[in-house]
Structure 1
Amino acid sequence: MQRNFIDRLKLTLPAYQNPAQSIADCLDISLNEAYKKIRNKSALTLQQIVRLSDTFKIPIVYQPEETPTVTFSYPKIEGGAPNMEDYLLDLLNNLKLIQAAKEKHLTIVTDDIPLFHLFKYPELTAFKLFFWFESLSSTPQKFERSFVTENITAVARELNRIYLEIPSTEIWAKNSIHGSLEQIRYAFEAGYIGDHSLAEELVVQLRYCLTDMNMYAMSSKKTIDISHTFNWYNCDVLGTIAYLAEMNGTKVCFNRFNTFNFLKTEDPDYCLQTKAWMQSLMRKSVSFSGQGEKHRNKYIYQAFQECDALIKEISGDRSGPGMSS
């Protein structure tokens, strides 16, 4: 338990910061004693673990022998409505921890387009956050381009940039694009989007996002840097959204719930089971990366057809749906 706790503490520190010095300062002990605790030669007391946990915001994970329990943490939403900037900043902190690791990889199993791809496009970012907000709001409102602040847009762009620099594997469900398209269709038909051109722009940006995916898959990397590897798979049957981050031998799992929020755990057994499940899915999936051109082109073509069909629906309805007050 202590070794696992110290390893997770190290991941929270900048590369230039000495873990032993940080522990010594926090616990008011000598540097020599701090090194002993790092090497597991001296036990941390419960009070010391609690102090380190509070200082470095590291959950205490303990699992009694033969008891299959898992402890999760999650971003708490106060008052029933999320603060989108705080939520994105929390995502950014998690992503920066992964990026900072010398050895890292992120595996995603999803039935929706991973949000980090969408964050490249301002209107699509604003709409996705609007849709999430509406799922918790009791007061209907219309979607406008100005729904999010410049600060939120900037954080979203940074999330996209950092994600592109993290080696990753994505396993998409057969209809992963369907969810985003249906959200746009619903918002337009229900009158949340009153501007036809804005609704069409959202679908166009979704097409651009798919074009990005195609480019990443063709080269098996997300940027010109060969270390930013990308593997893309398609699996016919998926029923969940899960992220598994691997950093210098430590694993962290994120499971989505309540539309957009996530449960986070560093439980070793749970993460190992999640990794085994993901690897099993890959073996049963069709690869879109590198030489998987035939299957990838078919998937992209069908997705483009769905996008074009929705644009045609929107442009064909110029009467404009109205939303009751």
Structure 2
Amino acid sequence: MSFNKNQAAFFQTLKLSLPSYNSLVDEIAEILEISIDSAYRRIRGEKLLDFAELEILCNRFNVSVDTFFNLHSNSILFQGNQNDYQENSFMNWMEDVYAQLNLVNSFSKKHIYWLVKDMPPFHHYYHEELAAFKFFFWRKSILFTESLKESKYSIKDNLYGQFAEITQKILKAYHKIPTTEIWNIEGINSTLRQIELYHEMGIMTSTEDTVFLYNCMLEVIDNLEKMAEKGKKILPSHPEIEGADYNFFLNEFIIGDNTFFATMDEKKVTYLNHSVIYFHGTSDPSFNNAMFRNLDNLIKKSTQISIVGEKDRKQFFNKLRKKVVEKINALPIEEE
């Protein structure tokens, strides 16, 4: 393969990262600040890119220079954000989640896969009080937000309000994307343990709030079961709005790692979880093809309980409810 053909192949890789309605030549012309004709010549491999242009394009499209030179190295380029320990870190994280979901939604053919270790955050957002608790927990105990250092949690504080708008945007974006989730019985343990720990540490201001949050979890489980039964996403606040396809698989043999995988037309992206809430993503073709094969194999070895498998579905969700009820029953009875 000649160098010019390598360049043409490089641009084909860039094209796969664009929504179908975006023009590659227009994007290249704008990014490199060149004419449409000059962009065409580079895309066809008639004019070679210089190193400055190559750097700009690799940064803009998040691809490795290895792709351009057709190097076969073991390095994989990932991109993502990390905690900067600022007061607005969580809002920035929420906005990034929304941006990623919007990116997926910009493609005509899209699907997301979630290899569940902890229940995907979107399900918590269906209940304002539970969402507010998770926001508080993530900010206080994961992001170490300074203003919450000595704070306690109370439902009365309405901590949801400041994040209400972005939360609803995220839910509506997620609602439109066909999704496959691979679950294990451990999927709700993290949230249950977080509620329990805050109660034991006195960070919860009342037992009533603790019980209320456990009951929110029961409602989440109810909604998950309804979605699995229908095979469609459901917004409890707007059940009349039909959501995208929802596939629920149960795998008793493995505990997931919160891998988030998206297919967008011909493009694939893998998001790997780190630091509890953050994800780093890669569009590396070789890595993503291997990841997709792995997910496909896991699905084949899992039990589908969405739409079909009524007996297995009822047994699974009843087991989840039992976990929550046991937490409620374990709470000490407060004397009046």
Give the TM-score of the pair, scaled to structure 1.
0.87
In structure 1, stretches of 5+ residues that fail to align are 321-325
- Return the letter of the residue paired with 1:65: L
Q: Give, in whole Å, the separation in 2 of the partners of 1:35 and 1:149.
A: 49
2:40 corresponds in structure 1 to 35
Tell whether 2:229 aligns with 1:229: no
Q: Give, in whole Å, the separation in 1 of the partners of 2:61 and 2:162.
A: 27
* Local SS of the residue matching 2:26: helix
- Aligned with 1:186 (options 189, 197, 207): 197
Task: Give CA-to-partner distance per residue, 1:163-188, whole Å, 9 cap, x none.
Answer: 12100100012211122111111111
Q: Give, in whole Å, the separation in 1 of the partners of 2:233 and 2:153.
A: 31
Tell whether 2:330 aligns with 1:313: yes
Task: Give CA-to-partner distance per residue, 1:279-308, whole Å, 9 cap, x none.
Answer: 111111111111111111001111111212
- Aligned with 1:2 (options 7, 11, 14): 11
1:73 corresponds in structure 2 to 79
Moved more, 72-81 or 173-182: 72-81
* Local SS of the residue matching 1:246: strand
Tell whether 2:65 aligns with 1:58: no
Tell whether 2:302 aligns with 1:285: yes
Q: Please say if residues 128 and 160 of structure 2, whose CA atoms lie closer than 8 Å, have aligned partners that are also in contact.
A: no
Tell whether 2:284 aligns with 1:267: yes
1:171 corresponds in structure 2 to 182
Moved more, 86-95 or 158-167: 158-167
Q: Give, in whole Å, the separation in 1 of the partners of 2:335 and 2:201.
A: 13
Q: Give, in whole Å, the separation in 1 of the partners of 2:265 and 2:46.
A: 22
1:323 corresponds in structure 2 to none
In structure 2, stretches of 5+ residues that fail to align are 1-9, 235-239
Tell whether 2:36 aligns with 1:25: no
2:210 corresponds in structure 1 to 199
Tell whether 2:273 aligns with 1:256: yes
Q: Please say if residues 233 and 245 of structure 2, whose CA atoms lie closer than 8 Å, have aligned partners that are also in contact.
A: yes
Give the superposed CA RMSD: 2.5
Tell whether 2:316 aligns with 1:299: yes
- Return the letter of the residue paired with 2:245: T
2:230 corresponds in structure 1 to 219
- Aligned with 2:130 (options 109, 124, 133): 124
* Local SS of the residue matching 2:180: strand
Tell whether 2:50 aligns with 1:45: yes
**TM superposition shift of 1:5:** 2.4
- Aligned with 1:246 (options 263, 273, 277): 263
Q: Give, in whole Å, the separation in 2 of the partners of 1:130 and 1:271.
A: 34
Q: Please say if residues 111 and 240 of structure 1, whose CA atoms lie closer than 8 Å, have aligned partners that are also in contact.
A: yes
Q: Give, in whole Å, the separation in 2 of the partners of 1:241 and 1:18.
A: 34
Moved more, 274-283 or 44-53: 44-53
Give the TM-score of the pair, scaled to structure 2.
0.84
Task: Give CA-to-partner distance per residue, 1:165-212, whole Å, 9 cap, x none.
Answer: 100100012211122111111111111112222212211111111111
Q: Give, in whole Å, the separation in 1 of the partners of 2:192 and 2:301.
A: 26
* Local SS of the residue matching 1:101: coil
Tell whether 2:115 aligns with 1:115: no
- Aligned with 1:85 (options 80, 91, 100): 91
- Return the letter of the residue paired with 2:259: A
Task: Give CA-to-partner distance per residue, 1:103-123, whole Å, 9 cap, x none.
Answer: 100011011111111112212
Q: Please say if residues 243 and 253 of structure 1, whose CA atoms lie closer than 8 Å, have aligned partners that are also in contact.
A: yes
Q: Please say if residues 232 and 288 of structure 1, whose CA atoms lie closer than 8 Å, have aligned partners that are also in contact.
A: yes
Q: Give, in whole Å, the separation in 1 of the partners of 2:299 and 2:47.
A: 42
**TM superposition shift of 1:247:** 0.4
